[in-house]
């Protein structure tokens, strides 16, 4: 079910973007079309590690979430809006969702509001804020992301950032029980929700 943006909204977005783009302010680097990152996550002291595989040309995005001393959750998103959230353990849990938008576009940070520079964990960063939803910190010199923080306080610290790395096709196959209607035990939490909220704001 596609959402049609009314023309007036497009005009408002256009004005907001052009207004922000003053000549001397830096803009965030677009995301590389394919990359692998290891993220150290902290949500009010609840820690996890995320293996993030972003793959724009193939229209897919994967978050493999290791909770501290806990389970691994696989959060697989396709650009057609279908998402699968599953485990590969005994519980064989899987939940799928149909979102109105696909994965983040490489230029999803376009129009972010520049907030200046800040020293973050020893990295000299440019800082932007996007739709009161996410604060994004990028290394001034290398243009690599250093961290992003959601409005909920959930922090992602970028530990590695391998441009061009691609996960093999067979790893993107959701398990067979994802296509069985009775497996609904996982709730849509964690990372899916994080960017899901951003995307809802971006289209609404
Ligand atoms: C995680 O964040 C909390 C604040 O929400 C902070 O007190 C704690 O030190 C952080 N833990 C780590 C390991 O960074
Ligand atoms: C979206 O693509 C995935 C992967 O090819 C597929 O499993 C899923 O059924 C598709 N969803 C829709 C709504 O077509
Ligand atoms: C939680 C749950 O219902 N799990 C079931 C998912 O489906 C597989 C078979 O495909 C069952 O073995 C699990 O018990």
DSSP secondary structure, 149-200, as one string:
EETTS-EEEEEEEEET----GGGG---GGGGSTT---S-S-THHHHHHHHHH
What pLDDT, on the 0 to 100 scale, is given for residue 184? 59
Query: What is the average per-residue pLDDT within 85-108?
Result: 92
**pTM exceeds 0.75, yes or no:** yes
Cα(75) to ligand 3 centroid in Å equals: 18
Instruction: Please report, for the chain, the start and end positions of each structural domain, with discontinuous segments joined by +.
Output: 28-111+160-203
Ligand 1, atom nearest to 44 Cα: 5
Instruction: Tell which one of 55, 77, 78, 173 to mutate to probe ligand 2, the residue whose CB is within 8 A of the most ligand atoms.
Output: 78
Cα(174) to ligand 3 centroid in Å equals: 14
Cα(142) to ligand 1 centroid in Å equals: 26
Report d(CA 117, CA 20) in Å as an integer: 17
Residue-wise pLDDT for 98-108, tens only, equals: 888 899 999 99
Residue-wise pLDDT for 37-55, tens only, equals: 999 999 999 999 999 999 9
């Amino acid at each position: 079910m596609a959402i049609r943006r009314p023309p007036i909204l497009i005009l408002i977005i256009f004005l907001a973007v052009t207004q922000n783009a003053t000549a001397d302010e830096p803009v965030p680097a677009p995301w590389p079309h394919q990359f692998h990152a290891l993220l150290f996550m902290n949500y009010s002291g609840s820690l996890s590690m995320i293996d993030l595989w972003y793959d724009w040309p193939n229209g897919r995005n994967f978050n493999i979430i290791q909770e501290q001393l806990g389970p691994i959750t696989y959060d697989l998103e396709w650009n057609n809006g279908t998402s699968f959230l599953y485990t590969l353990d005994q519980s064989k849990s899987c939940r799928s969702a149909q979102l109105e938008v696909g994965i983040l576009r490489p230029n999803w940070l376009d129009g972010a509001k520049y907030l200046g520079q800040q020293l973050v964990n020893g990295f000299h960063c440019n800082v932007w804020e996007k739709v009161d939803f996410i604060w994004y910190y990028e290394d001034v010199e290398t243009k690599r992301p250093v961290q992003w923080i959601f409005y909920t306080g959930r922090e992602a610290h970028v530990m590695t950032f391998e441009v061009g790395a691609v996960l093999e096709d067979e790893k993107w196959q959701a398990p067979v029980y994802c296509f069985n209607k009775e497996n609904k035990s996982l709730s849509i939490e964690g990372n899916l929700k994080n960017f899901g909220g951003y995307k809802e704001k971006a289209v609404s």
